[in-house]
Structure 1
Amino acid sequence: MDFLKFCDFAVSGENVAHSVICEEVDVNEFADLTDLDSYSTSSYTSSGNTSPVEYMQVYDNQSSGSSPEYCPQSGTMDQTLSLYHDQNGYHEQIIKNEMELDECSMQTFSSSETQRGETDDSKKSPKSANQSDPFLPPCRVCGQKASGFHYGANTCEACKGFFRRSIVKIIKKKETYKCSKDKNCPIGPGRRAMCAFCRYKKCLDIGMSQEAIKTGRYTYEKKFRDTKEVIQLRNKDLPNNNDSDLCGNETELLEFIESLIKIQEKLVPDFRKSFEPNTLLEQQKEIFTKYKEKQEMFGQMKSLPYDVYEEVYNETGLDLGNRFEKMGKIATSMEKNIRNIVEFVRLIPGYSQLSTKDQLQLIKSCFSDYWFLAAHKRINLELQVVCGSVNAHFDELLGLMHKDYLDEICQVTTKLQKCNMTIEEVTLLRAITLTAGDRCDLENPAKVEEIQWKLIGFLRSLLKKSYDNPEQRLWQLFDIMTSLRNLESVAKNIHALRSKWAVMQDHPLVLDVIKCH
């Protein structure tokens, strides 16, 4: 029994929208499960008579028509995902049209088969049917369709092979190329006999080098730069392109976004209000005032490093700063967030068609980015307070994380808050984040990338309606996505700390996510 299994089951009785999304399910069957908060994890685990296998049997009984006797609130990611995967036969999109990219768009974005213009290139191992080529601009050298990022530039296989042989010829064998003309020969698509001298010169001009091969994998930043160029090329090829190229119509797009917003409001009732100016300011001021009152009562309290908190507790058993209470609130909030993400992804066109394993991997790897895209709104850098599952001053947070982690979070928060994203932008970015397939091993990366491109198309359509320069805004939002990647190592370190909290044993669902992050 797997992760989405549990979350899908857990929300089936309480989601009002299920009558639209899951028409074949009689919600009344789950009437006694609507108050799921009454089922605590501790009572579930302490009962001693409900193993995952037994719970799966209960689910099987429910599927065959009989009502389950109980529904535990927590389980692993695998448990919850499998349940969702088993039930996705009744999953219907709430928008009538899946808002497919038009045929011309997909032709522009789709990757070509690997070009083999050089007969002496080494043989490549065949790609699996599910493996996806990245969406790339044309080859920087000859203008043909690129196959990848080679020697520091996007090139086709032919130019990659040519440059590799040129390295051997010029650098290792100390030989040279000669141009029979004016050293300015045309290099472009459809030319069978290109001047080797001018072709090599162009390779160097675009930044290809032997050292650049060590620059590493095709990075997230590089992918978004290529995304920008591909979209610009598409616009150039389609000057009369309009919004209908990217989505069915404006009404369906707005309905889709609104459905995602409502899912987020189920977890955070004031989610919509948090995007209104100064809505959270009074709450943040109250947190700051209470912190100052503590200082006046007990004197100036110097913040203790995280390691000191741990040392004091291990030696004396004292819980300084009510850390355990905060840990419990954080763990509970994280579990609710995970279950809410499960509901969220069900509305993303095409997501339900992914395998259980791929859905699981994407949610696990993108959980932190998804959370922070909204959480940054609740941080007040001037007052140095945060409001949410835990209301605290930054000094009080040091009992839960190292100071350098908090400093990095503040740096990224500054950037996100300056961008002043709307609720619609954050919602679509959250959806795009949950299709970041480069962070995990997937069974069908091509399908995941197809879904991501649809969502990017939705975002472009939204921005066209709101900005005079929508493309500039799009790159600003892509830059935000890149900035979130800077928090990846911080998130891993924070999750490593949290996985050691005793309270996490009561939240196996959360443990399953953060241990794999």
Structure 2
Amino acid sequence: MDKVEQPTSEMKCDGPVDGVTKGQASPRTDLKSVPILEETIWKAVREGKSASLDCGGMSDLQEPGSASGEEVEGSETSDAIGLAVSPGSKGSWGANLQNGDGTPQESPQQNSDTSVTDPLQAPSLSLSDQLRLGRDDPSNLGLNVECRICGDKASGFHYGVHACEGCKGFFRRTIRMKLEYERCERACKVLKKSRNKCQYCRFQKCLALGMSHDAIRYGRMPEAEKKKLVAGLLAGENLKSSSGADLKTLAKHVNTAYLKNLNMTKKKARSILTGKTSCTAPFVIHDMDSLWQAENGLVWNQLNGAPPNKEIGVHVFYRCQCTTVETVRELTEFAKNIPGFVDLFLNDQVTLLKYGVHESIFAMLPSLMNKDGLLVANGKGFVTREFLRSLRKPFSEIMEPKFEFAVKFNALELDDSDLALFVAAIILCGDRPGLMNVKQVEQIQDGVLQALDQHLQVHHPDSSHLFPKLLQKMADLRQLVTENAQLVQMIKKTESETSLHPLLQEIYKDMY
């Protein structure tokens, strides 16, 4: 099969890839580093030290010069996004293919131009280290913290809320002198320039926002507590009663972060799947021979080193894992750009990513799929669904549930701006086990959900029930991740030739 049939316009990307050919070399050069999280790294973070580990695996998007790794189980999701592994590294993440009888399959001649320097020697930041960036500089804390009453610059935490000197003094005088103001029914706006015009409305706003004499703090507030209070303000201060303009701004910010940090957008993927792009058509991987060609430079770069022989199913399983690792890195960077996320406790940031990354990946995966297969390696390859089904069990069972979910999810016809807010809402679920500040997380998610609801009303006016449908999809994704985790655990126990990437082990540890 040298070419897959071209879909018609009515197929809406649910047909085969247009003009996908099987013999065009397209060596990769856009490599990026993979983060790692291990117990030793956590220890180093707590002690204020730097730490790095060998990844033992590398995504096709990695950059020569870095590789460390953390782990999570259930990387099957990754299969779909782009398979990439580092052969010859510690942990045997790369692998030569074997025939069905276990004998090694002869490899085609490797293109010398596709060989790259082993990047596994250089350290990279752990997941927790990446999340800590920008948090430890005191100059970044407390800046632009507004008075909750009037919007002026807050001077501190007074009577239970962040307030400016003016509002602090006003509230103190009112309480101490037991002042009573003439009742006002106009619900006046209390702003910096107008805060003295209506004392009744100003005092009512102080009470409504939680100012209380009982909340007086004696002595100087510890710096650690101050940081947490500032974080709480920044996390969701403007999300309680966000206006339409505020929600639109939030949606735009989240969408920009999504497009910046996620390498394969739905718009890009669909243009490849429908042949509406000037880029080289993806190389079709439909059997062992075509997989070998892909491994030797047509889709993925072949790293230096002699990998051990592995059965084809095991090899594909490894490819899946490393793509998941790279996508976790992208999602981490995306999360850091969601307003309020980096102001959460570091523990809560890690917890949200631990429980949210696979649900997020499975939500993005349908963008790369049609009924016949899925794009891999940043669109340079297309793995057929039949080929994945042809793998022996249990490897053949990894991707099929994702295809079934994709059919229904793609029917919602979401675009990248919709997905950006949906993925952000998934990451910010306040019911994740072990969260230290649930209320703060829920505040941020509430704002994102409000923005998503408004965004859908504007951009999908004919789909009145789209928002509740997406809320149901969040529940479906949890079930999909649970089943995925169970399958990966089974593979881990029954397949002696397999091992899980450290990042995937860490993510799935104690999850279910």
Smaller-chain TM-score bracket: 0.3 to 0.5
* Larger fraction in helix: 1
Query: Could you say which structure has the greater relative contact order, defined with CA pairs below 8 angstroms and 6 or more residues apart?
Result: 2
